[in-house]
A = this chain, B = another copy of it.
């Protein structure tokens, strides 16, 4: 590389997104880039001229290590969709003006579906206008729903957190089953894709039977069958722990989290409140069985818990960040870097480059055959798939008993 690089982060943060940023930075420097700029809050910040010189933030190897262990988007994130090119060329002219002023050679965007839409449009516009800037997408999402890649950085760490937390919740629930315990419903992120909820299977081991059921959004949710299942487990063991995707829907397509709303969860101000899927199901169980219930939403914690990151995930995130620089340096534009798995055991993955037009706005769901017939658990294929992605640990740099992060100075 001979000129400068600019990199941005977009969409929901993860525990690994900053490791990709570190990979972009170090690889760009190794390949000769003069400066590596960071967009503050992605393309939205860039449009306001809001960017920094990353070299002023990352001064030494310790900074790189801290960055790799820092959750959430170091540069700040955004959720901003570019207009279609034919709708508003001015926005594009403005972006390219800024990029040319900064003497940018490669534009790397770390993000999910929507971010790949940004790469698609910017690279299209670059080709239309004869720009030589290379636009490359670097995948990131805990949802693991990007097309054409084996998996996405961020997913492994979230899966590890979910498996661990559900196992700890099971231990807690099991210790209180006397004489009759609690039905616990754990709500996991994932509106359309059940990759995260499926990771509940990781709680299984010689020392733990795992959750009693996993309800993924890929399969219509049958509330009667759910009720029967919970009753059965309560009768058998005195307690039960199940996990549900926030996005589960009935066969009519109705979101379970909206069922509460319809039945009039009205808040203090007379507004209908979305209760959350687990909250609704707990209210339902309490009514139908009369059992004690507990709903646990893993919420932001599951994407921000870098204290329990997967080593494989953090290393791969850095590696794919580096690979996106390499792709740009080798002349690719309008592409995203992906993982292709060679084998499960021993786990082997290599990176490849794919046309972003085939990725943007697509969604990769859990294959139906990786979910059991009843739609209540994942199969051994799912386990084989997810297990390599959570291996190894990256313990935080602890200062005074609390993880230390890199922060914007």
Q: Are B176 and A77 in contact (CB under 8 A)?
A: yes
Task: Identify the closest chain B residue to A204 (Cβ).
Answer: B402
Q: Are A268 and B287 in contact (CB under 8 A)?
A: yes
Q: Are B168 and A305 in contact (CB under 8 A)?
A: yes
Report the separation of the CA atoms of residues A78 and B175 in the bound assembly, to the nearest whole angstrom.
Answer: 8
Q: Are B202 and A300 in contact (CB under 8 A)?
A: no
Task: Identify the closest chain B residue to A15 (Cβ).
Answer: B168
Q: Are B306 and A70 in contact (CB under 8 A)?
A: no
Near B by CB (< 8 A), chain A positions 256-312 give 259-260, 263-269, 271, 273, 275, 280, 283-284, 287, 294, 296-297, 299-301, 303-308, 310
Minimum distance in angstroms from A13 CB to a CB of chain B: 5
Task: Identify the closest chain B residue to A184 (Cβ).
Answer: B300
Q: Are A268 and B296 in contact (CB under 8 A)?
A: no
Any B CB within 8 A of the CB of A110: no
Q: How large is the interface on A (under 10, 10 to 19, 20 to 34, 35 or more residues)?
A: 35 or more
Minimum distance in angstroms from A45 CB to a CB of chain B: 6
Any B CB within 8 A of the CB of A361: no
Minimum distance in angstroms from A81 CB to a CB of chain B: 14
Most buried by B among A275, A310, A400, A401: A401
Report the separation of the CA atoms of residues A260 and B109 in the bound assembly, to the nearest whole angstrom.
Answer: 43
Task: Identify the closest chain B residue to A203 (Cβ).
Answer: B402
Any B CB within 8 A of the CB of A172: yes
Q: Are A405 and B167 in contact (CB under 8 A)?
A: yes
Q: Are A399 and B205 in contact (CB under 8 A)?
A: yes
Contact of A160 (CB < 8 Å), options: B13, B40, B178, B401: B401
Once A71-B168, A299-B294 are accepted as A-B contacts, the answer to whether A407 and B266 lie under 8 Å apart by CB is: no
**Binary B-proximity of A143-173 (CB < 8 A = 1, otherwise 0):** 0000000000000000010011101110111
Task: Identify the closest chain B residue to A79 (Cβ).
Answer: B176
Q: Are B260 and A265 in contact (CB under 8 A)?
A: no
Q: Are A283 and B267 in contact (CB under 8 A)?
A: yes
Any B CB within 8 A of the CB of A392: yes
Minimum distance in angstroms from A266 CB to a CB of chain B: 6
Task: Identify the closest chain B residue to A407 (Cβ).
Answer: B207
Q: Are B207 and A404 in contact (CB under 8 A)?
A: yes
Q: Are A264 and B266 in contact (CB under 8 A)?
A: yes
Report the separation of the CA atoms of residues A382 and B265 in the bound assembly, to the nearest whole angstrom.
Answer: 39
Task: Identify the closest chain B residue to A306 (Cβ).
Answer: B168
Near B by CB (< 8 A), chain A positions 82-131 give none
Near B by CB (< 8 A), chain A positions 167-206 give 167-169, 171-179, 184, 202-203, 205-206
Q: Are B259 and A175 in contact (CB under 8 A)?
A: no
Q: Are B392 and A395 in contact (CB under 8 A)?
A: no
Which residues of chain B come closer than 8 Å to A168, judged between CB atoms? 71-72, 300-301, 304-307, 403
19 more A-B residue pairs beyond the given contacts A164-B307, A168-B305, A265-B268, with a C-beta to C-beta distance below 8 A? A44-B179, A45-B178, A76-B174, A163-B401, A167-B405, A168-B301, A169-B300, A171-B304, A172-B303, A172-B304, A202-B402, A265-B266, A265-B273, A266-B266, A267-B283, A269-B283, A296-B297, A297-B299, A390-B402
What are 27 A-B pairs at a CB distance below 8 A?
A: A9-B175, A13-B172, A41-B178, A44-B178, A72-B174, A76-B177, A77-B175, A163-B401, A164-B307, A164-B403, A168-B306, A171-B405, A172-B300, A172-B303, A207-B406, A260-B267, A263-B268, A264-B266, A267-B275, A267-B283, A268-B287, A269-B287, A271-B283, A271-B287, A296-B297, A301-B301, A310-B401
Which 9 residue pairs spanning A and B have beta carbons closest together?
A263-B268, A41-B178, A390-B401, A72-B171, A73-B175, A168-B304, A72-B175, A207-B407, A172-B304
